[in-house]
Amino acid sequence: MRGLAAGNWKMNGTGESLSEIKALLDAAPSPECDILICPPATLLSRMAALAEGTVLKIGGQDCHAAGSGAHTGDISAAMLVDAGASHVILGHSERRANHGETDAQVAEKITAAQAAGLTTILCVGETEAERDAGRALEVIGGQIDSSLPDDVDAARLVVAYEPVWAIGTGRTPTPDQISEVHDALRARLSDRLGTGQIRLLYGGSVKPSNAAEIFALHNVNGALVGGASLKADDFAGIIAALEAAS
């Protein structure tokens, strides 16, 4: 399976940050993996213009389930497409925690985003308390079951395992812990969707120094990177590690 190195810029970046995209494209003009950056909505169009004709794909960080209407501050899937996006992250733990997003809402968003032609990156992951209680696999399995709509198009689905306690903390799970979750995700998705071809990303404090160890794991097909995607040098290092692993 071709790897995917995806960057989630979260609420970071203004026009001057676009220089990092130029530097990234210079550093990795034709990588042996797919590359995606999900900037804040305000940068989507400008970044898409820079990415045109290159290998870089652009994605949103969320979308509304409705096509249009009285939803102040929200963005529809069609608007993301209009701005040049081909992907959208849905169900990120920061959306779930900060905006109270439920699995059912995430499922509706996946349906809407796929109907608009977007590839959806569904995020799942346990909190530290859930892991300490021995409930990580149960929590993640429940999120997969309830966040995937029945009509999901497997060909437009990527799943990211992002343990909440590893996001932005510099802490990462052990290789065994990542493998346990990714193997369970692979089995559950194969059961539900009848395909073993869904790309599984790991996310949470991925950086150039730990990327090779993570990409060496079976059933890890790439990464969803926060902080280290903001700097071209760091993200290029992660891309190089993914190329070397494939």
Residues near ligand 13P (CB under 6 A): 8, 92, 162, 167-168, 203-206, 224-228
Euclidean distance between the first and the last CA atom of the chain, given in angstroms as a whole number: 8
The partner residues of 103 in beta bridges, in order of sequence, read none
Closest separation in Å from C-beta 150 to ligand 13P: 26
Q: Which of 28, 32, 24, 76 is nearest to 50 (CA)?
A: 24
For residues 104 and 87, what is the distance between their CA atoms, to the nearest angstrom?
Answer: 20
- Residue (of 137, 145, 131, 39) closest to 83 by Cα position: 39
Note if 20 is an active site residue: no
Tokens 């210079």, residue?
A: 26
Q: How far apart, in whole angstroms, are the C-alpha atoms of residue 77 and residue 82?
A: 9
Max Cα distance, the chain (Å):
48
C-beta of 72 vs 174, nearer to ligand 13P: 174
Nearer Cβ to ligand 13P (184/224) = 224
**Active site includes 32?**
no
- The strand pairing partners of 58, in sequence order, are 37
Question: Residue 133 is encoded by which pair of tokens?
Answer: 């209680």
Neighbours of 13 (CB within 10 A): 18
What letter does residue 4 receive in the DSSP assignment? E
Residue nearer to ligand 13P on the CB measure, 82 or 123 = 123
Kindly name the residue from 64, 87, 92, 182 that is annotated as catalytic.
92
- Among candidate residues 94, 126, 130, 162, the one labeled active-site is 162
| Residue 206 identity | V
183: buried, middle or exposed (CB in 10 Å: 19+, 13-18, 0-12)?
middle
Structure tokens at 84: 């040049």
> Would you name the residues annotated as active-site residues?
92, 162
